[in-house]
Structure 1
Amino acid sequence: MKISTFPLGALQTNCFVVEKNEQAVIIDPGGDASILVNYFAKRNVEVQAILLTHAHFDHIGAVDEVSEYFKAPIYVHKHEVDWLRLPEKNGSGVFPGIPEIRIKREAIMIDGEQELTIGEFTFELYETPGHSPGSVSYYLPEENTIISGDVLFRGGVGRTDLFGGDHDTLMDSIHDKMLQLPDETIVKNGHGPDTTIGEEKETNPFINGFGW
């Protein structure tokens, strides 16, 4: 399995492309759809789905264009389906210089924690709310990797001052879901470099202050 990272859009949000046996899923295409189109133009790979960790503007900016181009379904948690069409919730109508984003294509609702199988891929899907109410994380145990959006960063945690955010809920998600994974688990997050669960237990001041 191959996992590639593409920082996209105005905030250089990490988009991840997961590939296996000439199939792929795209996670959080936040902008610059042409970069993804050009990447796949050079590869004999079929895109199976667009997966969203959550529906903030910087994670969904290229969803319509990418989904339409690859004829791939969109998956988002049920708590944030309406965010795709509502700038006041996805944040695109809040920040200066960020145009409103209203996703036109229909999405498939994620409802509850589950094994999510799409083509060649099976993700263990965890609900990890707090940064937003419908934040989810996609765990690939055979790759020792979790793709977690804006839940846990190297040396930090997700902000909770946007619509629907809640700091206590976020810390519960980190404590009850993320920190229960093996220490060697690689955390591929929405902004900045990868980290590991073990590294964050040792060095992250938000986690150390939370009793670890």
Structure 2
Amino acid sequence: MKWTQIPLGAIQTNCYILENESKDALIIDPGDEYEKIVSFIEENSLKPLAVLLTHAHFDHIGAVDQVRSKWKIPAYLHINESDWLQDPEKNGSAHFPIVENYHCKPSEEIIGSEQEMSIGSFRFKVLETPGHSPGSVSFYFKDKGVIFSGDALFYGSIGRTDLYGGDQEVLLESIHQKLLLLPEETIVAPGHGFETTIKNEKDTNPFL
């Protein structure tokens, strides 16, 4: 498996496209600029299987309806945010004038708990990492040594907690009890900014 980071939209949210040798693909957080996603998928002859959402803030869901419609694929979202795609107040789009109010379709698949998941040949673990938002999750691909952390943990920073449902104490607990316990060489692929490693954040992140 390999992955490609594609920053999208006004806030440059990282969309990740994962692909395997069979050209199957997963799309993590299609936040905006649908055309860029389509171009990458088509240029690389990929076959999307699903959309994985680390959480349902507006900058991570802006192209989710178009992507699902284009390839007739489901979106996976944690149960604690099961109604956020449809609600501009909760997904935050109502409070950011640079975007329209997002009333997206509900997610087809609900992640009810921390669990091992398989989609096609992709095998990964869903880690519940709330705090930035109540339903924030991280997708851990142990075999590849990478975790897609959404807006929980960044290079040198952590997620903001001043939006609807945010809680800094909960976020810090998530980071310490779920993410920092991973092998130190694990690559952290965050929702914004540069990739980092668990070791680097343990050693240098001023919030931790």
- TM-score, normalisation: structure 2: 0.97
- Give matches, 1:120-131, under 5 Å: 120-131=121-132
SS in 2 for 1:98: coil
SS in 2 for 1:85: coil
Aligned to 1:187: 188
- Give matches, 1:80-91, under 5 Å: 80-91=81-92
Runs of 5+ in structure 2 lacking a partner?
Answer: none
Whole-angstrom CA distance in 2 between matches of 1:105 and 1:177: 28
User: Any conservation in 2 of the 1:123–1:138 contact (CA below 8 Å)?
Assistant: yes
| Identity in percent | 53
Whole-angstrom CA distance in 2 between matches of 1:72 and 1:201: 37
User: Any conservation in 1 of the 2:13–2:191 contact (CA below 8 Å)?
Assistant: yes
Q: 1:131 to 1:118 in 2, by over 3 A?
A: same
SS in 1 for 2:183: coil
Aligned to 2:162: 161
SS in 2 for 1:58: helix
Measure how far apart 1:194 and its partner are.
0.3
Aligned to 2:138: 137
Cα-to-partner distance string for 1:63-121 (whole Å, 9 max, x where unaligned) = 00011001110000011110000000000001222210111254210010111100010
Cα-to-partner distance string for 1:13-52 (whole Å, 9 max, x where unaligned) = 0000010121000000000011111111123321000000
User: Any conservation in 1 of the 2:154–2:193 contact (CA below 8 Å)?
Assistant: yes
Measure how far apart 1:160 and its partner are.
0.2
Aligned to 1:210: none
User: Any conservation in 2 of the 1:51–1:75 contact (CA below 8 Å)?
Assistant: yes
Cα-to-partner distance string for 1:135-160 (whole Å, 9 max, x where unaligned) = 00000111110001000011110000
Aligned to 2:16: 16
Whole-angstrom CA distance in 2 between matches of 1:186 and 1:22: 23
The aligned amino acid for 2:118 is T
Measure how far apart 1:10 and its partner are.
1.5
SS in 2 for 1:177: helix
User: Any conservation in 2 of the 1:81–1:107 contact (CA below 8 Å)?
Assistant: no
Aligned length: 207
Cα-to-partner distance string for 1:169-204 (whole Å, 9 max, x where unaligned) = 000000000000011000000000001000001100
SS in 2 for 1:147: strand
User: Any conservation in 1 of the 2:85–2:106 contact (CA below 8 Å)?
Assistant: no
- TM-score, normalisation: structure 1: 0.96
User: Any conservation in 1 of the 2:83–2:106 contact (CA below 8 Å)?
Assistant: no
Aligned to 1:94: 95
The aligned amino acid for 1:6 is I
The aligned amino acid for 1:53 is T
Whole-angstrom CA distance in 1 between matches of 2:63 and 2:114: 26
Runs of 5+ in structure 1 lacking a partner?
Answer: 208-212
CA RMSD across the alignment: 0.9
Whole-angstrom CA distance in 1 between matches of 2:98 and 2:126: 34
Aligned to 2:110: 109
